[in-house]
Amino acid sequence: MDITEINESLLRTPLYSAHNDLNAKITPFAGWEMPLVYSGILNEVEAVRKRSGIFDVSHMCRVRILGSDAADFIQYLTSNDSHRLSNGTGQYSLLLNDQGGIKDDILQFRLSEEEYFLILNAGNAKKDLDWILSHKPPSVTLEDITRETAMIAWQGPEALKQCASLLKIDYPPMERYQIRKLSYKNQTLIVSRTGYTGEDGCEITVHADFALLLWREIMELGVTPCGLGARDTLRIEAGFPLYGHEIDEDVFPREAGLSWAVIPDKGKFIGSDAIIENNRAKAEKRSIGILAMDKTIPRQGYPIIADERNIGFVTSGTYSPTLKCGIGIVRVNAPYAKAGKTLHVEIRGKSYPVTTIEKHKMLSLSKGD
Amino acid sequence: MSIPENLKYTNSHEWLKIEGDVAIIGITDHAQAELGDIVYLELPEAGRVLQKEEVFGTVESVKAVSELYSPVSGEVIETNAPLCDATETINKDPYNTAWLVKVRVFNPAELDGLLDSNAYAKLIEE
């Protein structure tokens, strides 16, 4: 295989030329050529926290699940209670394996009784689709619309107002986790009030041929383009899990603080027996957030030390532009996963103190809560 | 990408300015651009003796960690300690105000193995 072929094997989103025009640094990610950074992660994170930013998240896998049995199939396939969803609403949910480990974390939306819309992680797309296909009954149809569409995340305190103004719809256009099909310039947009930054905002799925135009119209409002670097930094600040870091096939949902997305008494679903069995014993590992007490920066894989023992490791770590210190999410022996403890992180052979904090409270420190 | 002609360079993207038997060392414009916004810097104590290619410090951006390698053997005679509280200077002015350490060179012959600006330009083109 020569170099041309290697490059051709990476997919490009419909917005690729816009990233090039903006001189983005491009990186291979989950089989796609994606923008890593445009103007700088510090600048991009600040834009999302104070104003608004847009992200090309077209690499994420988008599928429609269709048919008269779609509702029951989603209920069996995923861990959250999808029967609670009314038309035009969605929820965070998990695909579990038969052992109760996490195959992927997903968003699932009910567009109508016979149409569901799922957003899956790009890195798990093939695995997830194979899994879904191997479990679905013949009466249910799966339609992968990833390649024929683009997806733009528009995030920040000003994002929804700007979005309502551009699309000429009421503000606020919807409640959190609601989803609408909107008509704009004779195109159908699928807009949900969701995101992965800890800020308000929306995610828009748009036909591939219309994506560049929409991206440019949003840019003309003065919105800051943000890359995957900023996206990962923002999600760590918000304490959100990422597959391959906080969660994977060997992690039970409660170990990652995701019990709220698993409803064992909703009836049988994939992994439910294993979850019920696992819940009988105490969890061995738990996850919690950490803040560095000096200028050091925790990074994925660094050991966590307490009582002179190795008690776990960092699953995600970064410098937080918002808190202006090193932060992270750690997976440690359950008794240590309590807020307000001092643990130590080992960095290049030296030990540095960190304070534990509930993951979702890290960001609120910057707001003076 | 700026590559001053009066400096020497390493494969690991440090630059050296030779003044008598002292080498002033920093990281290149290319290195800072690759790292992105630099937010953390760890430097050695003055007086530390370094072997050639020994790690003498660490520079970190929001998302990346990069070790600093000493291009020569020698003794650290001065460090730019204030830079640790103004790491953005490394992004803005990598060749001047953002020098990192001054090292008294033990063996001047080691300097012969370093890259000149043309060779370094070729290296980062690849």
- Per residue in A176-209, pLDDT (tens digit) is 999 999 999 999 999 999 999 999 999 999 999 9
pLDDT in tens, A328-354: 999 999 999 999 999 999 999 999 999
pLDDT of residue A7: 58
Best probe of the B interface among A34, A318, A323, by most B CBs < 10 A, is: A318
Query: Touching check for B21 and chain A: CB below 8 Å?
Result: no
User: Taking all residues of chain A, what is their mean pLDDT, rounded to a whole number?
Assistant: 96
A92: nearest Cα among A298, A243, A301: A243
Rg of chain B (C-alpha set): 13
How far CA A154 is from CA of A57, A194, A278, in Å, comes to 10, 9, 38
Whether residue A229 and residue B65 make contact (CB cut-off 8 A), yes or no, is no
CATH number of A283-367: 2.40.30.110
Q: What is the mean pLDDT of residues A99-111?
A: 98
Selected residue with higher pLDDT from B9 and A9: B9
CATH number of A3-58+147-237: 3.30.1360.120
Q: Is A216 left (phi over 0), alpha (psi -120 to 50) or beta?
A: alpha
pLDDT of residue A2: 41
| Min distance A144 CA to chain B CA atoms (Å) | 32
| Min distance B41 CA to chain A CA atoms (Å) | 9
| Min distance B109 CA to chain A CA atoms (Å) | 31
- Facing residues of B102 across strands? B24, B78
Query: Touching check for A296 and chain B: CB below 8 Å?
Result: yes
Q: Percentage of residues in chain A with pLDDT exceeding 90?
A: 96
Q: Is the pLDDT of residue A1 over 50?
A: no
Write out the residue limits of the CATH 3.30.1360.120 domain(s) in chain A: 3-58+147-237
Query: Touching check for A23 and chain B: CB below 8 Å?
Result: no
pLDDT in tens, A205-235: 999 999 999 999 999 999 999 999 999 999 9
Q: Percentage of residues in chain B with pLDDT exceeding 90?
A: 98
pLDDT in tens, B32-70: 999 999 999 999 999 999 999 999 999 999 999 999 999
| Min distance B92 CA to chain A CA atoms (Å) | 13
Write out the residue limits of the CATH 3.30.70.1400 domain(s) in chain A: 61-136
Which is the CATH superfamily of the domain at A61-136?
Aminomethyltransferase beta-barrel domains (3.30.70.1400)
Q: How many CA atoms lie within 13 Å of A343's alpha carbon, on the beta-carbon side?
A: 35
Write out the residue limits of the CATH 2.40.30.110 domain(s) in chain A: 283-367
Strand B55-61: give its sheet, edge to edge: B38-42, B55-61, B65-69
- State the pTM of this model: 0.95
pLDDT of residue B71: 95
Q: What is the largest CA-CA distance in chain A?
A: 64
Q: Is the pLDDT of residue A4 over 80?
A: no
Among B37, B40, B60, beta carbon nearest to A40: B37
Query: Which pair of tokens denotes residue B7?
Result: 């400096």
Query: Touching check for B1 and chain A: CB below 8 Å?
Result: no
Domains contained in chain B, CATH given: 8-106 (2.40.50.100)
User: Looking at chain B from residue 87 to 116, which residues have their Cβ under 8 Å from any Cβ of chain A?
Assistant: none
Categorize the per-residue pLDDT at A366 as very low, low, confident or very high, splitting at 50, 70 and 90.
confident
pLDDT in tens, A37-56: 999 999 999 999 999 999 99
For residue B1, count CB atoms less than 10 angstroms from its CB and return exposed for 0-12, middle for 13-18, buried for 19 or more: exposed
β-pairing verdict for A32-37 and A53-56:
unpaired
pLDDT in tens, B80-90: 999 999 999 99
